[in-house]
Amino acid sequence: MDTFFAILQVASLVLLLVLIHRPLGDYMAMIYTGKRDLRVERGFYRVIGVDSQSEQTWRAYLRSVLAFSLVGVLILYAIQRLQAVLPESLGMPAIPEGLSFNTAISFVTNTNWQSYSPDVTMGYSVQLAGLAVQNFVSAAVGIAVAIALVRGFARRREGTIGNFWVDLTRGILRLLLPFAILTAIVLIAGGVIQNFNGFTDVTTLTGGTQSIPGGPVASQEAIKMLGTNGGGFFNANSSHPFENPTAWTNLVEIVLMLAIPFSLPRTFGRMVGDTRQGFAILAVMSTIFVVSLTALTLFESSGAGSAAQAAGSAMEGKEDRFGIFGSTLFATTSTLTSTGAVNSMHDSFTALGGMMPMLNMMLGEVAPGGVGSGLYGMLILAVIAVFIAGLLVGRTPEYLGKKLGPREIKLASLYILVTPTIVLLGTAASFAIPGIRDDVTTTSIWNPGVHGLSEVLYAFTSAANNNGSAFAGITANTPWLNTALGVAMLLGRFLPIVLVLALAGSLAAQDKIPATAGTLPTHRPQFIGLLVGVTVIITALTYFPVITLGPLAEGLQ
C-alpha cells in the first residue's frame, strides 16, 4: 500500500512538471531573447545607469557578475553587523564578524549554508532586507550565466553574449517575482505564517508556557524554493510546521524547487533552435533523478542500522505528516537541485541513506541542478561526453555545430575539477592539520566514529557545490569552518562561472559548422546514455575513496 501511495505521489509530481515544463521553458526563452523592455525596466535601467540595448563581451559580462556579487556580499555583511540598530530585529544583537562573513557569502552564492540557528540569531530586518533579497538576486545571477552559455552555442561569429544587467533584471521582474508572489499566497493558504507578530506566549493545555514564533515566512519560503536557495527562516528549515505545514505544501515546495531547473532545458532547446537537444538534456536529468530517488527510498524504508531497528523504522528526524517517502522525495529534490532545504534531518538517515544526498551533490548538482547552475553544469558534462565520444571514434568533437577545440575542452575539464578539489582539500585539511583537527573533533563533530567524518565531508560537499544542506549535528559556527566553508562556497560558485563565461565567449565567436554523416547526434538515446554514464563515472572515480571512509564504512559494518 505504501508503495502505491509513493508511486501516486511521484506520478502527480511528474504530471505537474510535464505541464509546467513547456510553457515555462518557452516563456523563459522569450524573456531572455526578447528585444523590448517593459516600461518599469526602462525606468530601472535609467536609475542604475545601464544601456539595455548594448551587449557585453564575456569579459565584461563576467566583470558585471563579479561586481554585483561583491557588492551583494558587502551589503549583506553590513546589514548583519548592524542588526542591533535595525528595526524589527526582535532585540537580537549584531551578528559576529566570522558568522556574518560566512552567511553573506552563503546567500550571495545561492548556497544558503547556515552556520547559525535563525530562530535565535536573525531578526526580521536581516531576514527580509538581507537574506530574502539575495534569494531573488543570486538565483537570477545563476540563470543569467546559464543563458549566456546557451547564447554561446546559439550564436555564430559574435563577440558578445548578452547584457548581464538586462538578464538579471528580466529574471527577477518577469520570472522570479511574479511566481514568488503567487506561490507565497498558496503557501499561506496551506498554513505557512506571514506576520510581524514576534513571539506569542501562550499557556498550554497542561498549564505550561510556549513561545510561538511569528515572522514573514511565506514570502521567504516561496523564493527560497523557487530560486533553489534553501535557507530556512527557522532552524528546522522545511520540517518546521510553519514553513511546511502539510503533505500537500510539501509537494508544492518540491514542485517549486524543480520547476525552473527542469524547464531550462526546454529554454535551451528553443534558443539553440532544436528542442530535441533540450529534451535529451532533460532525459539525462530525469534518469539520474529517478534512480537516485529510488535508491534513497529503498535505503530509508529498509530500516537498516541500529537505531532504525531499535525503533522499528527510520523515523528519527522525520515528521509524521510526511512519512518516509515524503522525506526521501524532498531530500532527493533538495540535493539534486542546489536548494539544500530539508524536511527531515539527513544526519539521522540510515547510513547508506545519508550517503545519497552526498552523492547527489557530488554529481555536481546537475539533475536538474540549481536554477541556471544545473543547466550550465550539465552542458559542461555534455561537452566532456562529446569529447570522449570523439576520442573513441577518432573525430574532432563538435556539439550543436560548435567545434570543441583544445581551449573549450580545457575550460570544461577545469570546470569539473574545481568542486572536487575544494571538497577533498577542505575535508582533508580539517583532519590533517593538528590544531584544526582538535577543534573539528572536539567542537564541530556531533556524532562519534565514522559518522563524524561524514558530517565534515558533507559540509564541504554542500558548501563547494552551493547546496546548503547539512548533516546538521555539526557545529559549523567556529573560526575554522566559518572561514573554510565560506571560501569553499565562494570558489565553488565563481570559479565555475568564470570558466562557463569564458567558454560562452569562445563558442559565440565561432561559426557553426554544418552537421555531416560523421557528426555524433546529441539528441538520441545513445547520447543520453553516454551522458548519464559520463556524469556518474566522473563522480564515482573522484569520490569513491572518501565515500568508503564515511557512509559506506558505516553502512556496511
323 binds other proteins (CB under 8 A): yes
Residue of 200, 396, 483, 548 that binds other proteins (CB under 8 A): 200
Q: Which CB atom, from 120 or from 517, has the smaller least distance to other proteins?
A: 120
Residues 452-511 that bind other proteins (CB under 8 A): 454, 471-473
Q: Which CB atom, from 172 or from 464, has the smaller least distance to other proteins?
A: 172
320 binds other proteins (CB under 8 A): yes
Q: Which CB atom, from 216 or from 468, has the smaller least distance to other proteins?
A: 216
At 532, the amino acid letter reads: V
Strand partners, 211: 201
36-75 footprint of other proteins as x/- string (CB under 8 A) = --------x--xxxx---------x--xx--xx-xxx--x
Cα torsion 471, 129, 250, 334 to 10°: value is: -40
Rg (CA), the chain: 23
Residue 130 contacts by C-beta under 8 Å, 6 or more apart in sequence?
Answer: 75, 76, 79, 80, 107
Buried residues in 294-333 as b, exposed as e (16+ CB within 10 A): ebbbebbbebbbeebeeeeebbbbbbebbbbbbbbbbbbb
Q: 28 and 263 in contact (C-beta within 8 Å)?
A: yes
107-126 footprint of other proteins as x/- string (CB under 8 A) = ----------x-xx------
Residues 140-169 that bind other proteins (CB under 8 A): 165, 168
Q: At its nearest, how many Å lie between other proteins and the CB of residue 236?
A: 4
Residue 380 contacts by C-beta under 8 Å, 6 or more apart in sequence?
Answer: 412, 415, 416, 500, 503
- Chain centroid to Cα 528, Å, comes to 23
Using the rule CB under 8 A, give the single segment among 187-195, 380-388, 477-485, 498-506 that binds other proteins: 187-195
Q: What span, in angstroms and rounded, lies between the C-alpha atoms of 287 and 267?
A: 19
527 binds other proteins (CB under 8 A): no
Q: Which CB atom, from 311 or from 392, has the smaller least distance to other proteins?
A: 311
Among the listed residues 366, 135, 142, the one whose alpha carbon sits nearest the alpha carbon of residue 232? 135
198 binds other proteins (CB under 8 A): no
Q: Which CB atom, from 137 or from 146, has the smaller least distance to other proteins?
A: 137
338-367 footprint of other proteins as x/- string (CB under 8 A) = ----xxxx-xxxxx--x-------------
Element (H, E) at 431: helix 406-432
Q: At its nearest, how many Å lie between other proteins and the CB of residue 457?
A: 13
At 107, the amino acid letter reads: F
Q: 219 and 184 in contact (C-beta within 8 Å)?
A: yes
Q: Phi and psi at residue 322, in whole multiples of 5°?
A: -90, -35
Q: What span, in angstroms and rounded, lies between the C-alpha atoms of 363 and 299?
A: 19
Among the listed residues 391, 353, 416, the one whose alpha carbon sits nearest the alpha carbon of residue 543? 416
Residue of 37, 316, 519, 536 that binds other proteins (CB under 8 A): 316
514 binds other proteins (CB under 8 A): no
1 binds other proteins (CB under 8 A): no
Assigned C-alpha cell, 494: 565563481
Strand partners, 194: 216
Residue of 311, 392, 513, 537 that binds other proteins (CB under 8 A): 311
Residue of 242, 262, 289, 494 that binds other proteins (CB under 8 A): 242
Residues 219-238 that bind other proteins (CB under 8 A): 219-220, 234-236
DSSP state letter for 344: S
Q: Which CB atom, from 330 or from 415, has the smaller least distance to other proteins?
A: 330
Using the rule CB under 8 A, give the single segment among 152-160, 194-202, 261-269, 534-542 that binds other proteins: 194-202
The residue length of the chain stands at 557
Question: In the block, which residue shows the cell 522525495?
Answer: 329
Residue of 17, 99, 104, 172 that binds other proteins (CB under 8 A): 172
Q: At its nearest, how many Å lie between other proteins and the CB of residue 469?
A: 12
Assigned C-alpha cell, 77: 555583511
544 binds other proteins (CB under 8 A): no
Q: Which CB atom, from 243 or from 408, has the smaller least distance to other proteins?
A: 243
74-113 footprint of other proteins as x/- string (CB under 8 A) = -x--------------------------------------
548 binds other proteins (CB under 8 A): no
Residue of 123, 213, 269, 397 that binds other proteins (CB under 8 A): 213
Q: 283 and 311 in contact (C-beta within 8 Å)?
A: no
Q: At its nearest, how many Å lie between other proteins and the CB of residue 274?
A: 34
Residues 378-437 that bind other proteins (CB under 8 A): none
Residue of 16, 86, 185, 429 that binds other proteins (CB under 8 A): 185
For 511: left if phi > 0, alpha if psi spans -120 to 50, otherwise beta; the answer is beta
Using the rule CB under 8 A, give the single segment among 180-188, 256-264, 476-484, 541-549 that binds other proteins: 180-188
How far apart, in Å, are the Cα atoms of 291 and each of 260, 295, 296? 21, 6, 9
Q: What span, in angstroms and rounded, lies between the C-alpha atoms of 368 and 333?
A: 9
Q: At its nearest, how many Å lie between other proteins and the CB of residue 103?
A: 16
Q: Phi and psi at residue 98, in whole multiples of 5°?
A: -60, -45
- Number of residues engaging other proteins in binding (CB under 8 A): 115
